[in-house]
Amino acid sequence: MIEALVHPIARLANAGGPVLVVIALVAVVLFTLALERLIYWQWRYRRQRQALITRWQKRHEHVSWSARTLRECWCGELISALRASLPWLKLLVALCPLLGLVGTVTGMIQVFDTLSITGVGQARGMSDGVARATLPTLAGMAVAVVGILFTSRFEHIVRREDQHLHDRLTRATEIDHA
């Protein structure tokens, strides 16, 4: 059972070289962080947002400069917590194509090394090196594209939640003063 799972991964690592393994590890970290952010947004953030709205409603004073400043600080803390790992996600997304490029360079070095040892007539050695060069590039770009899709969607969610939070606090204040 375990061998059936490990064998394809070992073949892929052998075909793409050690850089492909690094790209796979970066992808695991990237998608783990992305999943953590989604879970945080779905469960914890929403409870914290509701607690903040309740805390704001319990205040007796909402219109002074200090009350508005306090509201902005509370909103900023909550949105900062929502945005917490976004810089790390962006860093990992940017790292993936660079790692793919490193894989391309190391694969091409192997191609040239094979050419220098065996001569130009060894087509099989050259094709193995070219395949080893292109596989990490493909993997790095694929992980980066999926990561970009997630980070852009999550940035949209953060902007929307920031606006919704301010709107809800304003509505809560208007209901109290109506």
Q: pLDDT by residue (tens digit) across 143-154? A: 999 999 999 999
Report residue 176's pLDDT band, with 50, 70 and 90 as the boundaries: low
Percent helix, strand, coil in the chain, to 5, is: 90, 0, 10
pTM of the model: 0.82
**pLDDT higher than 80, residue 33:** yes
What per-residue confidence (pLDDT) applies to 46?
92
**Residue carrying the six token digits 């970290």:** 29
Q: Residue 156 class from Cβ within 10 Å (0-12 exposed, 13-18 middle, 19+ buried)?
A: exposed
Q: Give the amino acid at 156.
A: H
Strands (E) located in 47-155:
none
